[in-house]
Structure 1
Amino acid sequence: MVAWLALYSRRANCISAYSYICSRERVTMERRAFLGLSAAAIAALGSGAALAQATDTGLAGAVAKLADLLETGYVYPDTGKKYAAMLRQKLAAGGYAAVSDPVALGQQLSADLNAVSSDRHLRIVPEAMAGGGGPRRVVVGGPAPGAGSGPQPIRRVSLEDAGWVAKGVAYLRYTGFTGDPATVAATADFMKTHATAKSLIIDCRYNGGGGIDEMNAIFPYLFAKETVLVQMQMAQSVAKARGGTPFDDDKFVRDVPAPVGLIGREHYAVPGTETGLFGAKVFYLTSGRTASAAEHLALAFRHTRRAIQIGETTAGANHFGDFVPIGAGLVVFLPVGRTIDPDTGKDWEGTGIVPDIAVAPALALEEALRRAGAL
């Protein structure tokens, strides 16, 4: 009888923790419904007039600069030339003459480019919406330096939840990998203070991407030996045009051989001194909104077989890059390279990464808790 009561109490505590997380998720989803505004709508909330006046080279000059950047800096040089040719031809024909608003121009340019060749990252947005700099895939937080009173980037708490959700089950939820030093430090501290966990759940169902700094704080606790995670490739011509690769200064990225005309980099994990989580189960939660750097993490877990991915197929946004100003108050997210599986050489652009266990995103956490023995 005592044993039965103890088991019932444990299960009740787990259900209570699960209910709490679900409640937090409902609030989060309601907040995201508001945050899911278009760039034009957000611009309307700010000072549209100020944005329209922030023209460095004029709208035509912005189109011309965009063509130059794509011709020399896009991840696939041949496709970059096609983008540039289309833009120059349409500009010469007066195709953008009727567009007087920078936000509308950015939307039109994004649509035109993706009509030539689809790229889930390639887009043109107001400069103030781009956030901070640094090598990344998608910037999800922080105001741009000197953004002024115009439209501001959405500010999010990238590490939304972190703690115990059941006995022996630790939980992390990210909305983005911003690389913010405080978030990276909090991640490392969490891993250290939860090193006795039997299971770890990393929830990136609504993670739009970012960089690899948070991952680098997690990996030393999960791998018992040095382990290759993923590889990255850039065209040599693109690297030369930009003065190197986005990962040249990362201590967990190193050079590897690559096919002719390409530069190869390898993201790898090095074990830390804390060994408690080396044998822990790891569950990685995804949805169709798990994108970019969060997919980088999904591929790292898939390649190493270190985690079980639960949820939906990811968004299919592979190419890494950064925001580059083009004038007229606009920036382009310029994809400069791609991340690949070291074994197959394939990336996930346009296809996403298929989960090990396919369930609706709303059920992914419950499934992970069940497999962790908490339900």
Structure 2
Amino acid sequence: MRRSAPLIPFALVLALSAQEAPVPVSPLQRKAVVETLAKALKAEYVFPEVAGTVGQTLQAKAAQGGYEGAGTAKDFAEALSKDLREQGKDGHFRVRFDPSFKSDSEEEKPPTKEEIAEARTESARRAFGIAKVEQLPGNVGYLEVLGFGPTEFVGPAFTAALSILSGTEALILDLRRNDGGDPESVAYLVSHFFVEGDTRHLNSIYNRPRNRTRQYWTSPTVGVHYTGPVYVLTSGRTFSGGEECAYDFQTQKRATLVGETTGGGANPGHGVALGHGFVAFVPTGRAINPVTQTNWEHVGVKPDVAVPAAEALKTAHTAILKDLLAKEKDAGARKRLETVLARVEKGEAEPVRYGR
């Protein structure tokens, strides 16, 4: 049924007002939330020696009235997030106010059909994490990935995108706005960049609550294998699974990284209900790269070519064109590449002609 136009913005205003209305938090509620958070850290945080210290520090601050100025749920969540990150030195720590949150248990429970359908729809709305697939001047492929959703949803989209770009001379994978996701999907994407039959151990994740380590390998079932040169773009915003993707390419010596040092978050985890509508993301695991036997926590992934993130695409594209030009023997092809290179270096777009 079609609704009249004035009703829609009015409904949006009501929804936004409801979301932004400050929710008061009492001293007793703050105390209870901090105590629950300290217990959750002690039971699940991947580094138990850090968990105890951080929990005690937060409880001491609460007992001394350190959170009295955080009288609303939003302010209290932000204050806890800030203290967690400062004390724990872990970028994955965060607290939010979300009364609708359903406990995110470490126990493996099969999702319902409704949950699967909802997740698939949401993944599709996000274009399966793919922001752009493009053939750049000079026959250079460009793929921007914003995140890594469940493999069963995003995997076919990754393969389709790389199928489109399979005939390019080189490929640029843009992770500058990628904030992470499923490590299995990271491995699935990276799998496309090795020849068929070349199996690689890419990453392992140790999980403290389960006391077990899971390995992530390249998948033998991907339908496209891209063998050309690869450049990966990074920024300070690149985080978590986005960092792992860049780190996998770098440690396997499969790509040249261009851009900025990444955010430095290598400890995955899950949401924990703290009561009174508050939820904490508690890192329960840590990545262990099979090549370096460490990860990028705190330090980030350092690019091979360090440039500001805004200049990374131009830098990578220019490097590829220069390499293609150095290898090209045909005079006509060289002239075309020289023209493209000159435009890219000047930051000029290739002219589009619609007439015959």
CA distance in 2, matches of 1:115, 1:370: 40
Partner of 1:290: 238
**Per the alignment, do residues 130 and 281 of structure 1 end up closer, same or farther by CA in structure 2, a change over 3 Å counting?**
farther
1:121-169 deviation line (CA, Å, top 9, x unaligned): 111122279899699xxxxxxxx9xxxxxxxxxx966321113223532
CA distance in 2, matches of 1:203, 1:212: 17
2:190–2:245 CA contact under 8 A, matched in 1:
no
Number of aligned positions between the proteins: 289
CA distance in 1, matches of 2:105, 2:161: 25
For 2:229, give the aligned amino acid. Answer: K
CA distance in 2, matches of 1:342, 1:156: 32
CA distance in 2, matches of 1:125, 1:210: 19
TM-score by length of 2: 0.71
2:213 is aligned with 1:264: yes
Partner of 1:338: 286
Partner of 1:328: 276
TM-score by length of 1: 0.68
CA distance in 2, matches of 1:367, 1:129: 45
Partner of 1:227: 200
2:270–2:283 CA contact under 8 A, matched in 1:
yes
Partner of 1:353: 301
Question: Secondary structure of 2:299's match?
Answer: coil
For 2:170, give the aligned amino acid. Answer: S
User: What are the residue-to-residue correspondences of 1:291-310 with 2, within 5 Å?
Assistant: 291-310=239-258
1:264-313 deviation line (CA, Å, top 9, x unaligned): 32211034464651x21111000111111111111111111111101111
For 1:80, give the aligned amino acid. Answer: A
CA distance in 1, matches of 2:189, 2:135: 16
2:134 is aligned with 1:163: yes
Structure 1 vs Structure 2: percent identity of aligned residues? 29
- Among 105, 115, 138, the residue aligned to 2:86: 115
Question: Secondary structure of 1:369's match?
Answer: helix
Q: Considering only aligned residues, what root-mean-square deviation do their CA atoms show, in Å?
A: 3.3
**Per the alignment, do residues 283 and 82 of structure 1 end up closer, same or farther by CA in structure 2, a change over 3 Å counting?**
same
- Among 65, 70, 84, the residue aligned to 2:41: 70
**Per the alignment, do residues 95 and 199 of structure 1 end up closer, same or farther by CA in structure 2, a change over 3 Å counting?**
same
Question: Secondary structure of 1:161's match?
Answer: strand
CA distance in 2, matches of 1:47, 1:156: 23
Q: Cα distance, 1:204 vs. partner?
A: 0.8
2:103–2:273 CA contact under 8 A, matched in 1:
no
For 1:81, give the aligned amino acid. Answer: G
- Among 72, 81, 97, the residue aligned to 1:101: 72
> Which structure's relative contact order is higher, taking Cα pairs within 8 Å and 6+ residues apart?
1
1:38-97 deviation line (CA, Å, top 9, x unaligned): xxxxx98653447558x9x93332222111100111010111111222233333444435
Partner of 1:32: none
2:16 is aligned with 1:47: no
2:208 is aligned with 1:208: no
Question: Secondary structure of 2:150's match?
Answer: coil
Which has the larger Rg? 2
**Per the alignment, do residues 218 and 347 of structure 1 end up closer, same or farther by CA in structure 2, a change over 3 Å counting?**
closer
Structure 1: state its 5+ residue gaps. 1-42, 136-143, 145-154, 241-262
2:73 is aligned with 1:124: no
CA distance in 2, matches of 1:355, 1:200: 17
**Per the alignment, do residues 115 and 201 of structure 1 end up closer, same or farther by CA in structure 2, a change over 3 Å counting?**
closer
CA distance in 2, matches of 1:165, 1:300: 25
For 1:341, give the aligned amino acid. Answer: N
